[in-house]
């Protein structure tokens, strides 16, 4: 049974154009162009009513991929119009981050600085204690935000580390002295 997302043609916004062929899906918007290869067990057709994603066979994989690529297409169309963004917050005394060229340099309690290169197609902005990551590709924005958080994840006893904006850190009670 195909996905509910892919049952009806997916509407394309006015400022966005979609092309599909030879296993490559391309979405062009006012700011950026995103391309993605798609699996040979599904077919993607661009019609005047919208984009139609159908399975080529009756396998479970083909039916699962129709919904997956419908979600990917929706994210790509949203991303070329307005970029996706993630905000991370540094919590901890003396924890700092600065942007040097295209690298983020962290001082987060280690004996050394940690340097992460900002991937092509993404932009990073640093303001006092916050890091804002923006880009058209939802997957790449989320992946780089996860890599930044992995430098120093928030710990449950003091709450120090790098956390997403709005993330709730479950705090634990420390040792009790008798």
Q: What are the extents of the domains in the chain? A: 17-81, 84-164
pLDDT of residue 1: 64
Global model pTM greater than 0.75: yes
| Structure tokens given for 77 | 């169309």
Nearest to 119, CA basis, from 100, 101, 140, 105: 140
Give the contacts of 73 (CB within 8 A, at least 6 positions apart): 10, 18, 25, 27, 44, 51, 53
- Whether the CB-CB separation of 36 and 99 falls below 8 Å is answered with no
36 DSSP β-pair partners: 25
Domain 17-81 identical in fold to domain 84-164: yes
* Predicted pLDDT of residue 151: 94
Whole-Å CA distances, 147 to 25, 31, 39, 56, 114: 27, 25, 27, 36, 12
pLDDT of residue 162: 94
Phi, psi of 149 (to 5 degrees): -65, -35
pLDDT at 2: 62
Question: Locate tokens 């119009």: which residue?
Answer: 81
Picking from 144, 18, 133, the residue whose alpha carbon sits closest to that of residue 75 is: 18
Question: Would you state the torsion angle of the CA atoms of residues 161, 128, 78, 166, taken in this order, to the nearest 10 degrees?
Answer: 40
Q: What is the CA radius of gyration of the chain?
A: 21
- DSSP H helices, 2-114, are 60-81
User: How would you write the pLDDT of the chain (178 residues) with one tens digit per residue?
Assistant: 667 777 889 999 998 999 998 899 999 998 889 999 999 999 999 999 999 999 999 899 999 999 999 999 999 999 999 999 999 999 989 999 999 999 999 999 899 999 999 999 999 999 988 999 999 999 999 999 999 999 999 999 988 999 999 988 888 988 887 6
Q: Which fold has domain 17-81?
A: Outer Surface Protein A; domain 3 (3.90.930)
- Superfamily designation of domain 84-164: Ribosomal protein L6 (3.90.930.12)
């Amino acid at each position: 049974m195909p996905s509910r997302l892919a049952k009806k043609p997916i509407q394309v916004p006015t400022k966005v154009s979609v092309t599909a062929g030879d296993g490559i899906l391309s979405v062009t918007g006012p700011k950026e162009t995103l391309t993605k290869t798609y699996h040979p067990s599904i077919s993607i057709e661009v019609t005047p009513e919208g984009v139609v994603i159908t399975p080529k066979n009756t396998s479970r994989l083909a039916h699962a991929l129709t919904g997956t690529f419908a979600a990917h297409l929706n994210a790509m169309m949203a991303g070329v119009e307005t970029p996706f963004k993630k905000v991370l917050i540094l919590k901890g005394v003396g924890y700092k981050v600065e942007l040097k060229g295209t690298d983020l340099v962290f001082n987060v309690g280690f004996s050394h600085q940690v340097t992460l290169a900002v991937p092509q197609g993404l932009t990073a902005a640093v303001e006092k204690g916050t890091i804002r990551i923006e880009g058209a590709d939802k997957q790449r924005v989320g992946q780089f935000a996860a890599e930044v958080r992995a430098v120093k994840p928030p710990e449950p006893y003091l709450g120090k580390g790098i956390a997403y904006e709005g993330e709730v850190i479950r705090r634990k009670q420390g040792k009790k002295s008798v």
